A = this chain, B = another copy of it.
Amino acid sequence: MKKTNPLLIDTGAPWLPIYKEIYSLIEDYERIFIVAHTKPDYDALGSAFGLAKTLEDIFPNKEIVVGGEDHYFYSGKLYPKIETKNNEWFSEKFLGIAVDCANSDRLGDKRVLKGDKVIKIDHHPPVEQYGDVNLVIENMISCAEVIVSLLINYEKFEQFTKDAAIFLFSGVAGDSGRFKYANTSAHTFAVAAELLSTGVDLSKDIYEKMYVQTIGDLKLVSYILNNFIITPKGVAYYVIHDEELVKLGVDPNHAKSKVNMFNDLENVHIWFSVNEDKEDGIWRISLRSKHIPINGVAAKYGGGGHDRASGCQINKLSELEQFVQDLEVLI
């Protein structure tokens, strides 16, 4: 373990018993399969690849494989493309590690559960503890932060490679809304400092790959600003029909990310976006809140997530009125 910020050591201390179980399992297996949740975001892929790269660095003779789904945009740019293994790979003994995934239903590749042993590493409310070992640190803003803590406190760990630092930083920056959302802590910043100490160029290696706006994005923002609604009680929302996105030339996956536009708006307590998903015949909702926990309402509408950042869905737009009412009751 190298000379580091004492805060990183102090924060890891209470988790050392679980960390040690994980170190020991990793040492025991020659084949390791790592997977994150479906429809992966920065934290999912950043955690998976950051962990994989670092373990490869510590154990060059182990076979470490990242499975699951690619990101529709960032894979091949910020993250490597995933090469899916055929079933044969899973017939031999391996250790499965699932990252950033609260329940087994959402695993990007469920074959991780075929592992001789399964480790779950996460920061979401622990709805399902599907691992043989479950490391869940809820007050960390990102799973990547959990992984950095796990690795930094490992005696066999020396330092992050630049690649690993880029992956893990993208996870921390992604889930924290670039160091903004609640649960962004002194430890989060200490982790970021540690990752950047590798000599990574924050602008060129990370942000310019993470944050790319197209003219279509600006048009979408403009569309939202012309069409959003704020209720008298302080719920803000917008609805985007599929055909509108086609007109604007914007990928549907991009549309929900704009929900954070309403973060800082005066007198708005809860806000959400409604995006048509024609394929599945539903309307996907990204739900956010300044202080009020909203994951209860999300659960009622077939979803879940964090206290103040959840996802859910409705089947018809006519359900929207009731959904808004359910939120207004909370205010």
Contact = CB atoms under 8 A, between A and B. Distances in A.
Contacts of A180: 178, 207
Given A189-B189, A202-B184, A225-B218, A213 B6 contact: no
Contacts of A208: 264, 290
A276 B297 CA distance: 47
Given A211-B264, A225-B225, A187 B193 contact: yes
A215 B188 CA distance: 31
Contact of A212 (B178, B184, B203, B264): B264
Q: Chain B CB within 10 Å — which of A196, A215, A221 has the most? A: A196
Interface in A174-208: 178-182, 184-190, 192-194, 196-197, 202-203, 207-208
A213 B182 contact: no
A228 to B, nearest CB: 8
A162 to B, nearest CB: 13
A185 B261 CA distance: 26
Nearest to A308: B203
Contacts of A6: 3-5
Contact of A264 (B189, B192, B194, B213): B213
A266 B212 contact: yes
B185 A196 contact: yes
Interface string A159-181: 00000000000000000001111
A104 interface: no
A83 to B, nearest CB: 29
B213 A185 contact: no
A226 interface: yes
A15 B215 CA distance: 45
Given A189-B189, A222-B222, A179 B179 contact: yes
Contacts of A179: 178-179, 192
Contact of A193 (B190, B225, B226): B190
A213 B266 contact: yes
A13 interface: no
Interface in A32-67: none
A1 interface: no
Given A185-B196, A211-B264, 15 more contacts: A5-B190, A179-B179, A186-B192, A186-B193, A186-B196, A188-B193, A189-B192, A190-B190, A193-B193, A207-B264, A208-B290, A212-B266, A215-B265, A219-B225, A222-B222
5 shortest interchain CB distances as A-B pairs: A189-B193, A186-B196, A222-B225, A5-B5, A190-B193
28 contacts: A4-B6, A5-B7, A5-B193, A7-B193, A178-B180, A179-B179, A179-B192, A186-B193, A187-B193, A188-B193, A189-B189, A189-B190, A189-B193, A189-B196, A190-B190, A207-B264, A208-B264, A208-B290, A211-B263, A211-B264, A212-B266, A213-B263, A213-B265, A215-B230, A215-B266, A218-B265, A221-B225, A222-B222
Interface of A: 3-7, 178-182, 184-190, 192-194, 196-197, 202-203, 207-208, 211-215, 218-219, 221-222, 225-226, 230, 261, 263-266, 290
